[in-house]
Amino acid sequence: MVPPAEQSVMLSLLGGGFVAAFLHAALPTHWLPFVLVGRAQRWAAPRTLLAVIAAGLAHITTTAVVGGLIVAAGLALDQWVEGLLPHLSAVLLFLFGAFYLTRATLRRPAPAGGPALTEAEPAVSDRAAFLGLVAMMAVSPGEVLLPIYLSASSEGVAALALLTLTFAVGTVLGMAVFTALASAGASILRLERWARYEGAVLGLALIALGLLVATHQH
């Protein structure tokens, strides 16, 4: 039976992972291309949503592969330096959190214009547009989610699989929500203003996770 303390930490990691994945999906790069391509190709909402789901799953698959390699490397390193892995994961979470928080603080405000969503004749086939969106997300793993994999590495393969599922749900849900809002005519400028705070919230969430991991070691 899993001790209550370990259950609490794992649940916190899963909750933090979901929040991090959802907030990461708020970045315009995770939904604006689907809005623009969907309008250019004159896709119906279900087809755009299908592209979002496929691309989101490809994004998380790549993240899981890279995360697995990082966990394997971390476990190998832990064999040489006993007890290093938990501290390393906490440090990485702190560093990533500080990076996103600092970047959000120093980033200049976005221009007042915002991107225009104009109708255009489809320049490529629907198949090429669909695969292009999937490939775009597949080649860019979610770097902000990688330290969370390392934090959960000591919990076992099942926990890592559950964390990956949590990332997938949070990412696809976030991408779908923001794509649907923009496609339905919500103000792109308003969404971009909200997304500007994503870095600060994400940074604070990662620092909180780092504190959780560091505290759990004592």
Q: Cβ atoms within 10 A of the Cβ of 121, count? A: 7
Angle of the 84-106 helix axis to the 45-80 helix axis, nearest 10: 130
State the Cα–Cα distance between residues 180 and 186, nearest whole angstrom: 9
DSSP 26: T
At 118 the pLDDT is: 46
In a 13 Å sphere around the CA of 197, the CA atoms on its Cβ side amount to 5
Q: CA–CA distance from 48 to each of 115, 126, 134 (Å)?
A: 19, 11, 12
Top pLDDT among 88 and 163 is at 163
- The reported pTM is 0.71
For 4, the token pair is 């209550």
Neighbours of 119 (CB within 10 A): 7
Q: What is the pLDDT of residues 19-37, one digit of tens each?
A: 889 988 888 778 888 988 8
What is the pLDDT at residue 42? 87
Residue listed under structure tokens 């971009």: 192
Q: Which tens digits make up the pLDDT trace of 77-101?
A: 655 555 555 566 667 667 767 776 7
For the residues 205-213, what does the mean pLDDT come to? 70
8-12, 137-141, 193-197, 208-212: range with lowest mean pLDDT:
193-197
**Which residues make Cβ contacts (< 8 Å) with residue 70, sequence separation at least 6?**
146, 149, 150
Please give the pLDDT value at position 176: 95
Percent of the chain with pLDDT over 90: 21
pLDDT at 54 over 90: yes
H-helix or E-strand spanning residue 214: helix 198-216
DSSP string, 33-48: HHHHHHHHTT--HHHH
Q: What is the pLDDT of residue 114?
A: 47
Calculate mean pLDDT across residues 54-71: 91
Q: Which helix (H) or strand (E) holds 6?
A: helix 4-24
pLDDT value of residue 199? 64
The answer to whether 57 touches 161, Cβ cutoff 8 Å, is no
* Cα 98 to Cα 192: distance, rounded to the nearest angstrom: 22
3-class secondary structure, 197:
coil
Q: What is the sign, positive or negative, of the torsion defined by CA atoms of 99, 104, 105, 107?
A: positive
Q: What is the pLDDT of residue 157?
A: 84
**Domain regions of the chain by residue span:** 4-110+124-216
pLDDT digits (tens, 9 = 90+) for 105-159: 776 554 444 444 444 455 568 888 899 999 989 888 887 788 788 777 777 788 8
